[in-house]
Amino acid sequence: MVWDWIPRNLGMIGGLLGEHVVLALLPVLIGLVLAVPIGWAAAGNRALRGVLVPAASVLYTIPSLALFIVLPAIIGTRILDPLNVVVALTIYTVALLVRSVADALGAVPSMVVAAATAMGYRPGRRFVSVELPLAVPVLVAGLRVAAVSNISLVSVGALIGVGGLGQLFTDGYQRNFPLEILTGIVMVLLLALVVDGLLVLIGRVSTPWTRVGANA
Amino acid sequence: MNALFSWLADPAHWSGSAGIPARLVEHLWYSVLALALGAVVALPIGALVGHGRRGGFLIVGSANGMRALPELGLLTLLVLLMGIGLLPVTLALAVLAIPPLLAGTYSGVRNVDPGAVDAARGMGMREWQVLFKVELPNALPLILGGLRGAALQVIATAAVAAYVSFGGLGRFLIDGLRTRDYPQMAAGAVLVAVLALVVEGLLALLQRAIVSPGLRGGGRRSPTVTVGRPAPAPANPEPVPVREPAGAEP
Amino acid sequence: MIEFRGVTKRFPDGTVAVDGLDLTVDAGKVTVFVGPSGCGKTTSLRMINRMIAPTEGTVTVDGRDVMSGDAAELRRGIGYVIQQAGLFPHKTIRDNIATVPLLLGWSRRKARARADELMEVVGLAPEMASRYPAQLSGGQQQRVGVARALAADPPVLLMDEPFSAVDPVVRESLQEELLRLQGELGKTIVFVTHDIDEAVKLGDKVAVFRTGGVLAQYDEPGVLLDRPADGFVDGFVGRDRGYRKLGFLSDELPLVELPTVGVGDPAPEGWSLVVDPDGRPLGWVQGGGSVEEAAVVPGGSLYEVGSGSLRSALDAALSSPSGRGVAVDGDGRVAGALSADDVLRALAASRADEAA
């Protein structure tokens, strides 16, 4: 019975899942931390924005497999180092989020910012307590795209030997065993679904004001 | 770096069925097929759902779900089930092209100024005329944005096809990886990246040529139009609340 | 002629937008639907070109039930102007205006020629023909909207709050323009607004709707201001209705002669009217001595003899620094003076006539 394969390999699947989560989400966290100040700078300065946003787009056009392979030559890692995948996905996340952050901050009503300034907020404090919270909905939308596409992209890493659940694809293909591949696909989809749902939830909880008056 | 350049400069790598030009043509061929197939599915659905202005959550949901599908898994599974051939490769890549095209078309049509649509109907356009003469031309910037995103994804991912013993520029990556031929891998990576950038640039030019000049100029009417980014289509193509035609009554 | 017979519109959620409407819109006249938001005025308008289907009752245009036949055909024969104009952003001004002629199968050349002709009619410069809507101001866009509605020369024109999104000065000039156009074209116009001033200014007849889609009163504007049917209409037409009503009365007012001076002439004591060499008023000066241009105080509004209403006559008197309103002839030359008392006497006389 082929279905036996799943229960017999639960431990292995769980291990790969854990690896997958780390490889996909660590870059989201690092990317967020990097993208907020960059996006903030881009939102405040037109010229800077004209450079940063297109540059981020160009980064995003680099194919993942190509990036995984070229990175070792640039950052001096070994070719099978998981760090390659983390760095590559961090680059994508930053590229995606810089635009989101810049757009989100740009969309904060200027009257609100002016009012906060008039009440005596200094720029740094104003950013943290006024602009950033109001930018959360757009930011969360960006994070969702980044997280979901990272979860899907990690599996390409299997081609260079570091791919979390993606290793079920290469292994299943080499052994001519479709069930293993199918298991991998379903696990990746479920993981994406759960992470996406969690991000939606975090977005809701952190922006209670967006839910009142929604029926206006 | 020098090894990379000498690999690229070697005339032996520029001829024959395994040469760069042949691989490039293969790569483009799969990509175009996949984009065409994706467009055949995504454009009508996106346009009709956008036109009806209802059921958008289905589009958003399915586009996001498809975005999460791991390409390598899909490709290996289809090849195992259908045998190696153009069809499974095209199908797997087309799945990748659908989400951005669907989201772009839907939100493009959905975001057309409701006043213009109301006026079109009020002047006596039939539903198909409203769609083809007003909604689709106005949605063009977002549709093309979706196409750019899709093209980028497909070209980047077509490299993976080499893993299942298929052609395209991915061959240099995979073969190089197997034989630890680092210059060949790097050359493949650079070629795929350059191809993606060139296609992206060409589509940007196309957009400039075929979008009505009335729709340029900072997107005053369609705030979601972005010029210059192929980008991951928004996670949520549902537009920021579009104002209902003013003066409308319950 | 457009007729509503027992028309009710109930939306799927249960709201009744229009409730048992019976109303006849006269051919060749401007009929204004006015009322607060949610009163069913726009819904009623949109039932004429079948953008909304009535739940009960019939709407007929020239005796034909709008629900019979093809909706698109019907709409091509009815001009339609909406708030914000609803222009097609991807088409040039010329192609926007040519929309309906092209739908009707005119040749492109003929449709464009017609568009150019209409741009002149609505007062748009020819060089705007190849521009796009985003390059035009709100008022210009609205002119394009009117031209587009007139393109196939439809006998009926539906206008849904067409001027409410433009600033007051532009709105005023668009209203004047519409009255001038209507004087030439004599269309059957149904015009929706929430602004009672706009309603009494433009309407040959005004239909006041109340919330819930019930017709409260349907009358000529003068009658509406004079005799509101009930408290709702009274409240809606507002506090200044007595003053506004003056706009609908015109009477031959007795003018007294008004001595004038030119710049550089010696002026008598008190206020004197300064005129240019052609006899057109420049303003007022006070006190004796030689008239210097810098001392001229701008005058008030002018009352045009014959075409002016009592409202403009009273305003001329009230806004003049000397208390004497300046009456001018058709060429803008000073014809005489009038006082507020003259206007009030004329008003009393017209009341007496009505009572008789």
Give residue B237's pLDDT. Answer: 36
Chain A, residues 5-44, CB within 8 A of chain B, namely none
Expressed as residue numbers, the domain containing B206 is 14-215
Q: Looking at beta carbons, which residues of chain B come within 8 Å of C41?
A: 249
Average pLDDT over residues C311-325: 84
CATH of the domain at B61: 1.10.3720.10
Interface contact A61, partner B, CB < 8 A:
yes
CA dist., res. C44 & res. B179, Å (int): 77
Q: How confident is the model at residue A120 (pLDDT cuts 50, 70, 90)?
A: confident
Q: How confident is the model at residue C344 (pLDDT cuts 50, 70, 90)?
A: confident
Give residue B218's pLDDT. Answer: 42
Asked if chain B contacts chain A via 3 or more Cβ pairs within 8 Å, the reply is yes
Choose between A54 and A170: higher pLDDT.
A170
Give residue A79's pLDDT. Answer: 73
Q: Which tokens is A12 given?
A: 């292995």
Give residue B238's pLDDT. Answer: 36
Question: Does the predicted interface ipTM exceed a cut of 0.95?
Answer: no
Q: Looking at beta carbons, which residues of chain C come within 8 Å of B121?
A: 51, 75
Is the predicted pLDDT of residue B148 greater than 80, yes or no? yes
Average pLDDT over residues B211-229: 51
C343 burial via Cβ count (<10 Å: 0-12, 13-18, 19+): buried
Is the predicted pLDDT of residue B60 greater than 80, yes or no? no
Average pLDDT over residues A29-33: 94
Task: Read off the pLDDT of residues A75-118 as tens digits, 9 standing for 90 and up.
Answer: 887 777 888 899 999 999 998 898 888 888 877 777 888 888 88
Task: Read off the pLDDT of residues C245-264 as tens digits, 9 standing for 90 and up.
Answer: 777 777 777 888 888 888 88
Distances in whole angstroms, Cα of residue B195 to Cα of each of A119, A169, A208, B184: 52, 27, 45, 16
CA dist., res. A95 & res. A58, Å (int): 8
Q: Looking at beta carbons, which residues of chain B come within 8 Å of A155?
A: 70-73
**Are A94 and B232 spatial neighbours (Cβ–Cβ below 8 Å)?**
no
Give residue A216's pLDDT. Answer: 38
**Are A69 and B160 spatial neighbours (Cβ–Cβ below 8 Å)?**
no
> Is C2-248's fold the same as C260-352's?
no
CA dist., res. B184 & res. B187, Å (int): 5
- Does any domain span residue B243? no
Give residue A31's pLDDT. Answer: 94
Give residue A55's pLDDT. Answer: 84
- Does any domain span residue B250? no
Asked if chain A contacts chain C via 3 or more Cβ pairs within 8 Å, the reply is no
Half-sphere exposure of A97 (CA within 13 A, CB side): 30
CA distance C338 to chain B (A): 43
**Are C92 and C129 spatial neighbours (Cβ–Cβ below 8 Å)?**
yes
- Does any domain span residue B56? yes
Q: Which of C17, C75, C77 shows the shortest C-beta gap to B250?
A: C17
Is the predicted pLDDT of residue B159 greater than 70, yes or no? yes
Q: Which tokens is C275 given?
A: 């005129």
Q: Looking at beta carbons, which residues of chain A come within 8 Å of B176?
A: 69
Q: Which of B67, B74, B152 shows the shortest C-beta gap to A148?
A: B67
CA distance A3 to chain B (A): 16
Residue C166 dihedral angles phi and psi, to the nearest 5°: -110, 160
In this complex, do B65 and A96 lie within 8 Å of one another by their Cβ atoms?
A: no
Q: Mean of the per-residue pLDDT values for chain C?
A: 88
Q: Looking at beta carbons, which residues of chain A come within 8 Å of B174?
A: 159
Is the predicted pLDDT of residue B245 greater than 60, yes or no? no
Is the predicted pLDDT of residue C164 greater than 70, yes or no? yes
Give residue A1's pLDDT. Answer: 54
Domain range list for chain C: 2-248, 260-352
What percentage of chain A has pLDDT greater than the value 70?
97
- Does any domain span residue B21? yes
Helix (H, G, I), strand (E, B) or coil at C69: coil
In this complex, do C51 and B129 lie within 8 Å of one another by their Cβ atoms?
A: no
CA dist., res. B227 & res. B205, Å (int): 11
Give residue B120's pLDDT. Answer: 95
Is the predicted pLDDT of residue B247 greater than 60, yes or no? no
**b/e per residue B74-104 (b: at least 16 CB within 10 A):** bbbbbbbeeeeeeebbbbbbbbbbbbbbbbb
In this complex, do B247 and C192 lie within 8 Å of one another by their Cβ atoms?
A: yes
Is the predicted pLDDT of residue B31 greater than 90, yes or no? yes
Task: Read off the pLDDT of residues B89-147 as tens digits, 9 standing for 90 and up.
Answer: 999 999 989 999 999 999 999 989 999 999 999 999 999 999 999 999 999 999 998 99
Which residues of B have a CB under 8 Å from any CB of C?
A: 113, 115-126, 129, 134, 137-138, 140, 212-215, 217, 220-221, 245-250
Q: How confident is the model at residue A212 (pLDDT cuts 50, 70, 90)?
A: low
Give residue B225's pLDDT. Answer: 31
Task: Read off the pLDDT of residues A48-59 as tens digits, 9 standing for 90 and up.
Answer: 888 888 888 778
Interface test mutation site (partner B, options A181, A182, A183, A194, max chain B beta carbons within 10 A): A181
Is the predicted pLDDT of residue C1 greater than 80, yes or no? yes
Give residue B217's pLDDT. Answer: 57
Asked if chain C contacts chain B via 3 or more Cβ pairs within 8 Å, the reply is yes
CA dist., res. C249 & res. C341, Å (int): 16
Choose between B153 and A212: higher pLDDT.
B153
Q: Which CATH class is domain C260-352?
A: alpha beta
Distances in whole angstroms, Cα of residue C356 to Cα of each of B129, C349, C350, C351, C352: 60, 11, 10, 9, 6
CA dist., res. C27 & res. C24, Å (int): 9
Neighbours of A29 (CB within 10 A): 12
**HEC secondary structure over A116-134:** HHHCCCCHHHHHHHHHHHH
Task: Indicate the fold that domain C2-248 takes in CATH.
Answer: Rossmann fold (3.40.50)
CA dist., res. C157 & res. C187, Å (int): 7
Q: How confident is the model at residue C225 (pLDDT cuts 50, 70, 90)?
A: confident
- Does any domain span residue B9? no
Q: Which residues contact B29 (CB under 8 A, 6 or more apart)?
A: none
Locate the chain C residue with the closest alpha carbon to B129: C103
- Does any domain span residue B114? yes
Tally the domains of chain B: 1
What percentage of chain B has pLDDT greater than the value 70?
86
CATH numbers and ranges of domains, chain A? 13-208 (1.10.3720.10)
Give residue B243's pLDDT. Answer: 29
In this complex, do B214 and C92 lie within 8 Å of one another by their Cβ atoms?
A: yes
